[in-house]
Amino acid sequence: MHCDAVFFMRAGYSGVQAHCPLLWAGDQSVDFTRHDGIGTVVTAALSAGLVGNAYSHSDCGGYTSLLGNVRSEELMERWCELAAFAPVMRSHEGNRPDDNLQYDSTPRLLASFAAWSRVHAALAPYVRTLLDEATATGLPLQRPLFLEYPDDPALFAVQDQYLYGADLMVAPVIEEGARARSVILPGEKAWRHAWSGEDYPPGWHTISAPIGAPPLFYRRDSAHAALFARLPEVLAA
Tell me: do 181 and 100 sit in the same domain.
no
Minimal CA–CA distance to 208: which of 176, 169, 182?
182
Q: Are 15 and 85 in contact (CB under 8 A)?
A: no
Which domain CATH number covers 224?
2.60.40.1180
Report the C-alpha gap between 60 and 112 in whole angstroms.
12
- State the pLDDT confidence band at 1, using cuts at 50, 70 and 90: low
175 with 102, same domain?
Answer: no
Q: Which of 127, 170, 134 is nearest to 54 (CA)?
A: 134
Tens-place pLDDT, residues 62-92? 999 999 999 999 999 999 999 999 999 999 9
Residue 1 in any domain: the answer is no
Q: How far is Cα 127 from Cα 199, in angstroms, rounded to an integer?
A: 23
The answer as to whether 174 is a domain residue is yes
142-166 pLDDT per residue, tens: 999 999 999 999 999 999 999 999 9
**Beta strand ranges found along 38-177 (DSSP E):** 56-57, 59-60, 90-91, 142-143, 162-164, 168-170
Model confidence at 18, pLDDT cuts 50, 70, 90, reads confident
DSSP element (H, E) containing 205: strand 203-208
Specify whether the CB–CB gap between 194 and 216 falls below 8 A. yes
Residues 90 and 187 in one domain: no
Nearest Cα neighbor of 55 from 172, 142, 124 is: 142
Q: How far is CA 210 from the centre of its chain?
A: 17
16 and 114 belong to one structural domain: yes
Q: What's the rounded mean pLDDT across residues 214-229? A: 98
Tell me the CA distances in angstroms from 146 to 46, 107, 189, 223, one per residue in order. Answer: 11, 40, 16, 22
Last residue of a domain, one of 122, 143, 161: 122
Residue 95 sits in which domain range? 8-122
Residues 43, 62, single domain; the answer is yes
Whether pLDDT at 195 is above 70: yes
Task: Read off the pTM.
Answer: 0.95
103 contacts 76 by C-beta, under 8 angstroms: yes
Task: Give the C-alpha separation, 74 to 11, whole Å.
Answer: 29
Same domain, 65 and 112: yes
Same domain, 67 and 158: no
